[in-house]
Chains A and B, each alone.
Chain A
Amino acid sequence: MHLKVNDESHEVTVDAERTLLSVLRHELGLTGTKYGCGEGNCGACTVLIDGEATRSCITPVTSAGGREITTIEGLANGDKLHPVQEAFVEHTAFQCAYCTSGFIMSSAALLDRTPSPSDEQIQSALSGHICRCGAYVRILKAVKSAAEQDGVE
């Protein structure tokens, strides 16, 4: 089948039963997207499909065929980090950072749709994600500052 990931086209031959996460990590070597629970409960595997934040661990790979998939590796514009990535660095909005890709992808999707979200909107968009290191205070600050940066630009 045909997968379009980070603006690149890939032909992959895989079982229809496999998840998008499994194909991204194992067939395409895009390991920035993480396995956390396999049940859609922790958000570590979040990617964008046609701009929508999507749990790749419960998404059959077949349902992503022909659509625009963006992973954490494809979020920056060359060397220029996405404003959300920039803000996560600025606020050290992580500790172990295993969950970070997922938080960043959902935040990017939120700001794309809602450039100036309220605290409640940010929390609601990220409530499906778990950061076990507990960096939530900083994640919230980072997303807010990314929204403000975006507004200025």
Chain B
Amino acid sequence: MSEQQSLAGIALTIVGTPRWSLEPDPRTPPGDPATLLIIDTDGVITAFSGKVEYGQGIRNGFAMEIADELDVAVDSVRIILGDTDLVPQDRGTTGSASTRTVGIQLRRAAATARLTLIDLAATRLEVGAGSLKTLDGRVVSEESPAGVEYADLLSGQTLTVDIPDVVEVKAVEEFQLMGRPARRIDAISRVTGAATYAQDVVVPGMLYGKILRPPSYGAKLAQVDSARAERVSGVVSVVQDGDFVGVVAEREDAAEYAVEAIRARWEESRDTASDWNIPALLKERAENPTSLREDGDLDLAFVSAERVFENTYYVPYVSNAQMEPSASVARWDGDHLTVWCANRGPFAERDSLAEMFGLDTSQVRVIAAEIGGSFGTKTPTVSHEAARLARAVDAPVRVSYDRAEEFGWSTVRPAATFEVKSGVDAGGKIVAWDYTAFHAGENAFRGQRGADTPYDVDNVRIAVAASESPLQSGSYRSLGGATNHFAREVHMDEIAIGLGLDPLEFRLSNLSHARLRACLVAAAKTFGWASREKRPGVGYGLAIGYDAGSFTAQCVEVLVENGEARVIRVMVGFDCGLVVNPDGARNQIEGSIVMGMGTALWEAVEFDGGRVLNAGFARYRVPRITDTPEIEVVFTGDDDMPSSGAGEPGIVPIAAAIANAVRDATGTAIEELPIVPRL
């Protein structure tokens, strides 16, 4: 906290407990009380959060919320993110939860500050607090419209105030900033090249590290000869510690050149998994499935069902492929370690570094740089590597991955195989739903998101199994949410088409969830679903989705010709409760759709025997500007509902909606992704 206290002239400090969940939850006790917000004697407001900025505009969202609660201009609010020495403990920026959890607590902190300012003004003006209100950085009243500036009220004060148990935040109709389109406060630095990403961090005396990579996952180092590398001009040291071999040099190009000059012999693992046999292996290698829900009597329901549908679906590994490859700078000051990095969870990264080097967490400081995209990846590995090299050479070291390392050694979205069996009655009502998912990776929890069905059905079994993964699986935008939705929503069309029903009508007749229905109806109406015209090569599809507390539906038009599929337009119904920043939310939803379109049409990590075969953008096709569809978003949520996630839910239905549209165009069911190689 030393740097925080050394900031000149702190007049008011608001202390509260960081929250992880919207409502107090006994299973997740709140963090220790920490400084959430300070106002200095000049009236400048600074708020602290353990969240990080990787493009979702979280800094902007927080600043707007605080500015609104305190009735100040948004540019008088500073937000400090992701510096473990300065900000409250946090569990990582995941699950589209920042606005729901930290956002509301920062609003409560700001509301507490506002009440404190009003109390100060009441004393100064010798009037009752009830006659005072805040406006444009001042406390004013009917009698005194010019009022008193915050800075004036805080002059000479050093107050610390705890957030009370009950503090009233503003109602929707009182917002001046929230809910309106706004420029991002970090916009200028992002269009002038001034924003500093982890790849750009330079500290005095810094050297450059490069790691020797094995040829394949699981390979063990048998023999190494680094004599040639050591002779490369600019090389400071070749560091070896077991299988870990790295070069430290004065320049990055020297480090790259030297690592190429190392001669190494590897014993490769004999895992025979390849992209072509993985769909079946996922089931064979599965651990015991975890049952998420068992309702009614499935066996009986299938016996009595008029029609039964049974299909297997597959979604391959995909690469996050964020534009900024992983990078980290590590500096040791005695037995204190400081790391600048691009991790989504600075505290988790701090803890993992402390564990690795046998340090107390107080000896490690992690500072989040601007993050050039994440979508879930950016593991602490790169920081471990930088810290190991920095310790070996006793100087700060930056490790920056190149694109091939990022494709080959970063985490990937788990592949998954799904078995879905459904039964419907003569009236087209779903009476039985048996769903089992096999998600690659040891963490079964990752595959649970979005596995349950939101449709009305009495006899249900939902099971999710983790399965051994030949690649290093990790997080991804919405993770299991996107893949589970693909299986379910494609299967919904399988039933609708099997019964000769319109996919929209079939869904609506099995869906009583009001918020999802509203999304679906809005998307279909904007799209003109009822009046869609059958034309050669053109197909229409839709899907619904839920994720991170939000709901969405998407209607898609595709054009299939010459072995390519092109998404022409996407109409979206979206309910994330109160929309704090509509433009920011739209930006996230558009991005989710473009990203999900890549996973639907082209993307798959190709691998064989632990080697990634398409580790570059020339061989891994991602969406480009020429692929961009027309996208329109209709917000259907209620402003009185708390804000829920907008960064991820947009991706969950899109792959299924596209697959359903391609099926509509070609008449062939899509059961595996990506689509285009199979056209």
A71 and B628 contacting across the interface, CB-CB below 8 Å: no
B403 and A38 contacting across the interface, CB-CB below 8 Å: yes
B236-244, B436-444, B466-474, B583-591: which lies at the A interface? B583-591
**How far is A90 from B191 in the complex, measured between Cα atoms in Å?**
11
Q: Which residue of A lies closest to B406 (CB)?
A: A37
Q: B191, B583, B587, B626: which has the most chain A beta carbons within 10 Å? A: B191
Q: Mark A117-136, 1 if CB is under 8 A from B, else 0.
A: 00000111011011111111
Q: Which residue of A lies closest to B194 (CB)?
A: A32
**How far is A92 from B54 in the complex, measured between Cα atoms in Å?**
15
Q: Mark B142-186, 1 if CB is under 8 A from A, else 0.
A: 000000000000000000000000000000000000000001100
B24-32, B294-302, B516-524, B615-623: which lies at the A interface? B615-623
Interface band, chain B: 35 or more
Set of chain A residues within 8 Å of B618, measured between Cβ atoms: 39, 41
Q: A85, A132, A140: which has the most chain B beta carbons within 10 Å? A: A132
A138 and B594 contacting across the interface, CB-CB below 8 Å: no
- Segment 35-52 of A: residues with Cβ below 8 Å from B: 35-39, 41-42, 44
Interface residue A99 (Cβ < 8 Å from any Cβ of B) = yes
Interface residue A104 (Cβ < 8 Å from any Cβ of B) = yes
**How far is A129 from B253 in the complex, measured between Cα atoms in Å?**
24
B322 and A132 contacting across the interface, CB-CB below 8 Å: yes
**How far is A25 from B590 in the complex, measured between Cα atoms in Å?**
32
Interface residue B196 (Cβ < 8 Å from any Cβ of A) = yes
- Closest chain A CB from B231 CB (angstroms): 16
**How far is A73 from B322 in the complex, measured between Cα atoms in Å?**
23
B251 and A26 contacting across the interface, CB-CB below 8 Å: yes
B197-205, B411-419, B481-489: which lies at the A interface? B197-205
Given A35-B325, A37-B403, A76-B192, decide whether A95 and B587 contact each other with a Cβ distance below 8 A.
Answer: yes
B372 and A32 contacting across the interface, CB-CB below 8 Å: no
**How far is A97 from B253 in the complex, measured between Cα atoms in Å?**
25
A126 and B373 contacting across the interface, CB-CB below 8 Å: no
Q: Which residue of B lies closest to A15 (CB)?
A: B253
B192 and A72 contacting across the interface, CB-CB below 8 Å: yes
Count chain A residues whose beta carbon lies closer than 8 angstroms to a beta carbon of B: 57
- Segment 1-46 of A: residues with Cβ below 8 Å from B: 15, 17-18, 22, 25-26, 29-39, 41-42, 44
**How far is A132 from B662 in the complex, measured between Cα atoms in Å?**
24
B252 and A26 contacting across the interface, CB-CB below 8 Å: yes
**How far is A96 from B374 in the complex, measured between Cα atoms in Å?**
9
Option from A36, A89, A133, A139 in Cβ contact (under 8 Å) with B625? A139
- Closest chain A CB from B375 CB (angstroms): 8
Given A22-B252, A35-B325, decide whether A138 and B587 contact each other with a Cβ distance below 8 A.
Answer: yes
Given A123-B626, A130-B622, A132-B323, decide whether A37 and B197 contact each other with a Cβ distance below 8 A.
Answer: no
Set of chain A residues within 8 Å of B493, measured between Cβ atoms: none
Interface residue A100 (Cβ < 8 Å from any Cβ of B) = yes
**How far is A38 from B593 in the complex, measured between Cα atoms in Å?**
27
Report how many A-B pairs have Cβ atoms within 8 Å.
Answer: 168
Interface residue B400 (Cβ < 8 Å from any Cβ of A) = yes
Option from B591, B624, B626 in Cβ contact (under 8 Å) with A135? B591
Interface residue A137 (Cβ < 8 Å from any Cβ of B) = yes
Option from A22, A36, A73, A96 in Cβ contact (under 8 Å) with B55? A96
Set of chain A residues within 8 Å of B628, measured between Cβ atoms: 123, 136-137, 140
Interface residue B102 (Cβ < 8 Å from any Cβ of A) = no
**How far is A32 from B54 in the complex, measured between Cα atoms in Å?**
17
Set of chain B residues within 8 Å of A33, measured between Cβ atoms: 193
Q: Mark B367-392, 1 if CB is under 8 A from A, else 0.
A: 00011111100000000000000000
Set of chain B residues within 8 Å of A134, measured between Cβ atoms: 590-595, 623
A41 and B323 contacting across the interface, CB-CB below 8 Å: no
**How far is A140 from B629 in the complex, measured between Cα atoms in Å?**
11
Q: Which residue of A lies closest to B53 (CB)?
A: A96
Q: Which residue of A lies closest to B181 (CB)?
A: A92
Main SS at interface, chain A: loop
Q: Mark A78-97, 1 if CB is under 8 A from B, else 0.
A: 00010001001110101111
Interface residue B648 (Cβ < 8 Å from any Cβ of A) = no
Option from B187, B253, B321, B373 in Cβ contact (under 8 Å) with A92? B187
B192 and A135 contacting across the interface, CB-CB below 8 Å: no
- Segment 335-364 of B: residues with Cβ below 8 Å from A: none
Interface residue B190 (Cβ < 8 Å from any Cβ of A) = yes
Q: B372, B584, B595: which has the most chain A beta carbons within 10 Å? A: B372
Interface residue A56 (Cβ < 8 Å from any Cβ of B) = no
**How far is A85 from B187 in the complex, measured between Cα atoms in Å?**
10
- Segment 317-334 of B: residues with Cβ below 8 Å from A: 321-325
**How far is A47 from B410 in the complex, measured between Cα atoms in Å?**
28
B372 and A96 contacting across the interface, CB-CB below 8 Å: yes
Q: Mark B230-274, 1 if CB is under 8 A from A, else 0.
A: 000000000000000000000111000000000000000000000
Option from A18, A89, A104, A139 in Cβ contact (under 8 Å) with B183? A89
Given A29-B202, A35-B325, decide whether A81 and B183 contact each other with a Cβ distance below 8 A.
Answer: no
**How far is A96 from B271 in the complex, measured between Cα atoms in Å?**
37
Option from A15, A34, A135 in Cβ contact (under 8 Å) with B372? A34
Q: Which residue of B lies closest to A98 (CB)?
A: B372
A71 and B57 contacting across the interface, CB-CB below 8 Å: no
- Closest chain A CB from B257 CB (angstroms): 9
Given A41-B617, A132-B373, decide whether A32 and B193 contact each other with a Cβ distance below 8 A.
Answer: yes
A44 and B323 contacting across the interface, CB-CB below 8 Å: yes
A129 and B196 contacting across the interface, CB-CB below 8 Å: no
**How far is A96 from B54 in the complex, measured between Cα atoms in Å?**
5
Interface residue B56 (Cβ < 8 Å from any Cβ of A) = yes
Set of chain A residues within 8 Å of B590, measured between Cβ atoms: 134-135, 137-138
**How far is A112 from B322 in the complex, measured between Cα atoms in Å?**
30
Set of chain B residues within 8 Å of A15, measured between Cβ atoms: 253
Set of chain A residues within 8 Å of B501, measured between Cβ atoms: none
Set of chain A residues within 8 Å of B400, measured between Cβ atoms: 35
A97 and B625 contacting across the interface, CB-CB below 8 Å: no
**How far is A52 from B628 in the complex, measured between Cα atoms in Å?**
25
- Closest chain B CB from A52 CB (angstroms): 19
Set of chain A residues within 8 Å of B321, measured between Cβ atoms: 132
Interface residue A145 (Cβ < 8 Å from any Cβ of B) = no
Q: Which residue of A lies closest to B193 (CB)?
A: A32
A42 and B190 contacting across the interface, CB-CB below 8 Å: no
A95 and B403 contacting across the interface, CB-CB below 8 Å: no
- Closest chain A CB from B376 CB (angstroms): 12
A100 and B202 contacting across the interface, CB-CB below 8 Å: no
Set of chain B residues within 8 Å of A17, measured between Cβ atoms: 253
Interface residue A101 (Cβ < 8 Å from any Cβ of B) = yes
**How far is A97 from B188 in the complex, measured between Cα atoms in Å?**
11
B193 and A140 contacting across the interface, CB-CB below 8 Å: no
Set of chain A residues within 8 Å of B373, measured between Cβ atoms: 95-96, 98, 132-133
6 A-B contacts (beta carbon < 8 Å): A31-B200, A101-B193, A127-B625, A129-B624, A132-B373, A134-B594
Given pairs A81-B188, A136-B594, A136-B625, 10 additional interface contacts (CB within 8 A) = A34-B197, A34-B372, A36-B324, A95-B591, A96-B54, A96-B324, A97-B372, A100-B191, A123-B626, A137-B590
Smallest CB-CB A-B distances: 3 pairs:
A32-B193, A134-B594, A96-B55
Residue positions of B touching A, CB distance < 8 A: 54-57, 183-184, 187-188, 190-197, 199-200, 202, 251-253, 321-325, 370-375, 400, 402-403, 583-584, 587-588, 590-595, 616-618, 622-628, 631
